[in-house]
């Protein structure tokens, strides 16, 4: 009798649990690190990649909306949010960490959406492992033109970083964070005040490990460009988005489009770098309309 009651209670609990309740956990990655992630929804997978100094919270106005029709994952890169810190003595890349998360969650292919630093990672994946992408959305950035893992930091760069770190410590990390927050706000348009406090909360909570240490090569950068160029044409559907206030030449085309057979470039008016937080309704509609086609 008790067994039947327990079974009935379990069935009732499962039936009463919302279909889109979020799940949060950590996934082990190379070098003894771990990645914090949150997951919600069912359907084709969408992975949201955040910007520098930020974390999963920057996607608060996308996460539940995307999860209505997609298995949506947002994560903290190593060194940000609730993931483990980076190490100066261990080479890894953010793109490889994302692949580890996908493998651990049983995701073969996903729609990758990245903003700013997140777009550097999305761009790396587009170039290095296109077979893992259903689509790619590059927001406020793209593939970096910086040295990759095969070109570690030399003596001159190391000395320069020592000088930069010393200057930052003298200035004070709180002052640095205030300046950085002002930079993130500076390109915003008429709706930018809606993001001021959420942005500051993330920047304030950030450990600032990155400007205070010598990072390894976290992006494939020039190696990604080389892979893209050598392939000739990549057929991953790609959406590139910029905020109007950051676009210097509206008639120009992002360099990545030269190597993509299915690419679209969109400019969202009256906003800047953090356009998903500043103009979430327009951003959500644009991205969801695009990925739902693929």
DSSP code string of 230-282? HH--B-S-EEEEEEGGG-S-TT---GGGGGBSSEEEEEESS--TTHHHHSHHH
The answer to whether residue 9 is domain-embedded is no
Burial of residue 222, with CB atoms counted within 10 A of its CB: 0-12 exposed, 13-18 middle, 19 or more buried: middle
The answer to whether residue 47 is domain-embedded is yes
List strand residue ranges (DSSP E) for the chain, in order.
23-29, 33-40, 45-49, 71-75, 110-115, 133-139, 238-243, 263-268
Helices 117-128 and 94-104: crossing angle in degrees, nearest 10, is 70
Counting the structural domains of the chain, the total is 1
| Residues paired with residue 238 on neighbouring β-strands, in sequence order | 136, 263
Condensed to tens digits (0 to 9), the pLDDT of residues 275-286 reads 999 999 999 999
Range of the domain at 221: 19-291
Burial of residue 279, with CB atoms counted within 10 A of its CB: 0-12 exposed, 13-18 middle, 19 or more buried: buried
Domain at 71, CATH number: 3.40.50.1820
Residue 43 region, left (φ>0) first, then alpha (ψ -120 to 50), else beta? Answer: left
The answer to whether residue 127 is domain-embedded is yes
Q: How many CB atoms lie within 10 A of CB 116?
A: 20
Joined tokens for residue 143: 């593939």
- The three-state secondary structure class of 67 is coil
Calpha distance 9→15 (Å, rounded): 10
Calpha distance 149→230 (Å, rounded): 18
The answer to whether residue 14 is domain-embedded is no
The answer to whether residue 283 is domain-embedded is yes
pLDDT in tens, the chain (294 residues): 434 433 344 434 333 334 468 999 999 999 999 999 999 999 999 999 999 999 999 999 999 999 999 999 999 999 999 999 999 999 999 999 999 999 999 999 999 999 999 999 999 999 999 999 999 999 999 999 999 999 999 999 999 999 999 999 999 999 999 999 999 999 999 999 999 999 999 999 999 999 999 999 999 999 999 999 999 999 999 999 999 999 988 788 999 999 999 999 999 999 999 999 999 999 999 999 999 998
What pTM does this model have?
0.93
Nearest to 46 by CA among 95, 97, 114: 114
The answer to whether residue 196 is domain-embedded is yes
The answer to whether residue 243 is domain-embedded is yes
The answer to whether residue 12 is domain-embedded is no
Beta carbons of 69 and 193 less than 8 angstroms apart: no
């Amino acid at each position: 009798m008790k067994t039947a009651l327990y079974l009935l209670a379990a069935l009732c609990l499962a039936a009463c649990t919302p279909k889109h309740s979020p799940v949060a956990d950590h996934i082990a990655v190379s070098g003894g690190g771990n990645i914090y992630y949150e997951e919600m929804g069912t359907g084709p997978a969408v992975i949201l990649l955040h910007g520098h100094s930020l974390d999963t919270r920057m996607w608060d106005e996308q996460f539940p909306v995307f999860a209505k029709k997609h298995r949506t994952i947002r994560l903290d890169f190593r060194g940000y949010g609730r993931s483990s810190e980076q190490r100066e003595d261990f080479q890894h890349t953010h793109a490889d960490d994302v692949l580890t998360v996908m493998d651990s969650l049983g995701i073969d292919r996903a729609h990758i959406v990245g903003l700013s630093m997140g777009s550097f990672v999305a761009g790396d994946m587009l170039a290095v492992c296109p077979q893992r992408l259903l689509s790619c959305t590059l927001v406020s950035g793209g593939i970096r033109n910086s040295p990759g893992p095969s070109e570690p930091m030399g003596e001159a760069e190391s000395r320069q970083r020592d000088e930069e770190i010393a200057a930052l410590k003298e200035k004070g990390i709180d002052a640095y964070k205030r300046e950085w927050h002002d930079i993130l706000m500076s390109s915003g348009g008429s709706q930018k005040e809606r993001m001021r406090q959420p942005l500051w909360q993330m920047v304030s909570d950030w450990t600032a490990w990155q400007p205070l240490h010598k990072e390894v090569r976290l992006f494939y950068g020039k190696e990604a460009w080389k892979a893209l160029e050598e392939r000739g044409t990549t057929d991953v559907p790609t959406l590139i988005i910029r905020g109007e206030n950051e676009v210097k030449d509206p008639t120009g085309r992002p360099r990545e489009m030269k190597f993509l057979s299915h690419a679209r470039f969109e400019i969202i008016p009256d906003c800047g770098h953090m356009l998903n937080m500043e103009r979430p309704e327009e951003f959500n509609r644009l991205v969801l309309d695009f990925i739902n086609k693929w």
